[in-house]
Amino acid sequence: MTGPGDTLDRVLAEARACRICAAHLPLGPRPVLRAGPGSQLLIVGQAPGTRVHESGIPWNDPSGDRLRDWLGLDRDAFCDEARIAIVPMGFCYPGVDRHGGDKPPRPECAPLWHDRLRVLLPGIRLTLLVGAYAQKRYLGRRRKASLTETVRAWREYLPDYLPLPHPSWRNTVWLKKNPWFAAEVVPYLREACTKPGPPPLAKG
């Protein structure tokens, strides 16, 4: 919840200065997030990768290219804080796990910052939950048994939330095995992200 005197600029500045889990971050803290008071779309992803950590630009990597393609937005539109807020589950690069992939987002981050930021973004009309970590936090018991089932049931979570798989190139096989995502979800997503007003009604 917000505290006395909280404003979006103030909370963003505090979040960007956060060092609470610095001892656990192999590249050190560099919180990456963005939002504007008029943001209408909120993207809740996982955590920055190394390229995003280096540049400080959200989704500045091949995963971001795929996500922008799903949304039907170019880089300029995607980076427009007047339209899009980007608040990942973890604000800093968490390091690599023993399998060579990125570690999960640090657990301290979302409980500390998400509620404070979300209440200061009253214009959000749709929240994209990108990946299992975001879906677990925001959908809770409403999630299905797997990410695939949760995304397949995307209509159940509208108009507030739209669950998505992570756009990592590691999920290329998943996308090939689940052609309904490109046929059903992506067209809805592009319409919701490129047209003004509330999200459209989902067909089917």
The pLDDT tens digits for 166-194 are: 999 889 999 999 999 999 999 999 999 88
Q: Amino acid identity of 203? A: K
The superfamily (CATH) of domain 8-194 is: Uracil-DNA glycosylase-like domain (3.40.470.10)
Residue labelled with tokens 């981050």 = 109
- The radius of gyration computed from the CA coordinates of the chain, to the nearest angstrom, equals 16
- Report whether 182 contacts 175 (CB < 8 A): yes
Angstrom distance (rounded) from CA 204 to CA 202:
7
The pLDDT tens digits for 122-176 are: 999 999 999 999 999 999 999 999 999 999 999 999 999 999 999 998 899 999 9
Query: pTM (2 decimals)?
Result: 0.94
**12 to each of 32, 94, 159, 170, 179, how far by Cα in Å?**
10, 20, 26, 31, 38
Angstrom distance (rounded) from CA 1 to CA 116:
5
Q: Which sequence spans correspond to the domains of the chain? A: 8-194
Region 65-77: mean pLDDT is 96
| Confidence at residue 99, expressed as pLDDT on a 0 to 100 scale | 81
